[in-house]
Amino acid sequence: MFRYYFEDFRPGWTFEQGERTLTAEDIVRFAREWDPQRYHVDEEQARRSPFGGLIASGWQTACVAMRLMCDGYLNASACVGSPGIEEIVFRAPVRPGDTLRFRSTATEARPSKTKPNRGTVVFNWEVLNQRGEVVLSMIGTQLFLRRGAGDPGA
């Protein structure tokens, strides 16, 4: 039923997905709704900020990562949720016209001790711009069913 199960995410497994280009309009629209700081919503004030121009909210960059992850492999996987993100770092500003891509690397995989039908995978997630610079990095955990595990609610 799914393409990816717990067993597929061995440490070292890497996946790349992209691309998503953010326009000034995309940045302002997102920021007005979710992160209305001056350097996200107002080009003139952004020019006078330490950033020297409009930049995307780090949260928008994280949302792009999530979308590219879902489109790339998560929606084709036997994922049954996530206990959370351990670390998120906004490493460099994302500016209008930047084209983003997503990279996921499994760093740890362990079967559940209490639920034999699933396992836990720790990932290093990165968003890179068109120059290959990492603009966002996250360390997070996802739970996946094991192959042949049956009901995800079990």
Mean pLDDT by 10 residues, the chain (154 residues): 96 95 98 98 97 98 98 97 97 98 98 96 98 98 90 49
Would residue 154 count as lying in a domain? no
62: domain CATH number is 3.10.129.10
Q: How many CB atoms lie within 10 A of CB 3?
A: 10
132: left (phi over 0), alpha (psi -120 to 50) or beta: left
Q: What is the predicted pLDDT for the residue at 152? A: 53
Q: Where are the beta strands (DSSP E) in the chain?
A: 14-21, 84-90, 99-111, 118-128, 134-145
Q: What is the predicted pLDDT for the residue at 18? A: 86
Would residue 115 count as lying in a domain? yes
Query: What separation in angstroms does the CA of 109 have from each of 5, 37, 63, 122, 154?
Result: 11, 38, 24, 6, 20
Residue 13 domain boundaries? 6-145
Please tell me the distance from the alpha carbon of residue 9 to that of residue 12, in angstroms, as a whole number. Answer: 8
Residues 38-71: tens digit of each pLDDT: 999 999 999 999 999 999 999 999 999 999 999 9
Q: What is the predicted pLDDT for the residue at 149? A: 73
